[in-house]
Amino acid sequence: MAEVLARLGLDARASESAIADGRVFVGRKRVTRGLAEVPAGAEVLVHAPREEIALPQPFVLHEGDGLLAVDKPAGVPTVPDVTGARGTLIDLAARAIGRRREQLHPTSRLDRDVSGVVIFATTPAAADALSRAREAGAYRRRYVAIAAGELPDRVRWTWSIDRARDPRLRRAVDPPQGKASATGARVVARSSVGRSAFSLLSLAPETGRTHQIRVHAAAAGAPLVGDRDYGGPARITAPTGKVIAVGRVALHCAWVEVDLPARESVAERPRHCMIRVVSPVPRELAELAQALGLGSFEEAIACGP
């Protein structure tokens, strides 16, 4: 492998870094060690390193009870993809608290172009406790979003979620296909820009399927602004005439609440602890809502669907 990478113009240090980051592939298989043999005629791909972006401050929102909660910015994948592990959220979170990536277990994942609270378990026991909390309905999340389209004041979407022809995407389907999914949604504010309608949404996903909120909103005829994959507009002309280029999905996880068993008290009676982690709405989304005449996100965060 070292010889192959040298032919591609990488010196020993760059080769070691690319393999450690998980950016080197032989065909569709990721290379994990420098001594790997390359079969004759195999295609070798080396992806460029990911550019790290500025992190919100504070980045670490909670650490303790076996949990680590961080404030994910848009543009960062939660876990490693083809461009490797370095600069992903799990890598940034591990470095922030002086741990190895392998010591963190993601218990929630936000899509690359979505922002907000992401929680990692730092112990196997905490990972199990979070899994049980999900099953018991004690893991609650509030998302806020801007959708392009008309929706009822309150709605509960229950389309199942299945893979689309493009393996990177999903689609809404009727049972018995796909995985059962449910999302509660409430319209907090409405506006019209030209012939286009926009809605400020408060969202409470009851399940955690891949792309769930994005797929449900698109299936309801109101794709999220900036969500090109599911038909959302990426360029909008504001009432002032200014053209707004939206470089991310207008979806943000504003808070997560978890009820978890805590250590026994002094009286040796089991008790529970409530953990609530909050992520401020990023400036670009706040400015977009204002430009579209939707006001602020405060009510959408405070109210429930």
Catalytic residue set: 111
DSSP string, 64-129: ETTEEEEEEPTT--SS-BTTBSTTSHHHHHHHHTT--GGG-EESS---TT-EEEEEEESSHHHHHH
List residues bridging with 252 in a β-sheet.
Answer: 115, 144
243: Cβ contacts below 8 Å, ≥ 6 apart? 235, 236, 237
3-class state of residue 301 by DSSP: helix
Nearest Cα residue to 223 out of 184, 197, 256: 197
Q: Which residues of 9-32 are buried (b: 16+ CB within 10 A; e: fewer)?
A: ebeeeebebbbebbbbbbeeebbe
Nearest Cα residue to 245 out of 221, 225, 218: 225
Nearest Cα residue to 227 out of 201, 204, 206: 201
Nearest Cα residue to 255 out of 206, 302, 305: 302
> Alpha-carbon distance 301 to 255, whole Å?
8
| Structure-block tokens of residue 44 | 């070798």
> Alpha-carbon distance 23 to 42, whole Å?
16
Residue 241 class from Cβ within 10 Å (0-12 exposed, 13-18 middle, 19+ buried)? Answer: exposed
Q: Determine the length of the chain.
A: 305
In contact, 118 and 278? CB cutoff 8 Å: no
Ramachandran bin of 22, using left for φ above 0, alpha for ψ from -120 to 50, beta for the remaining angles: left
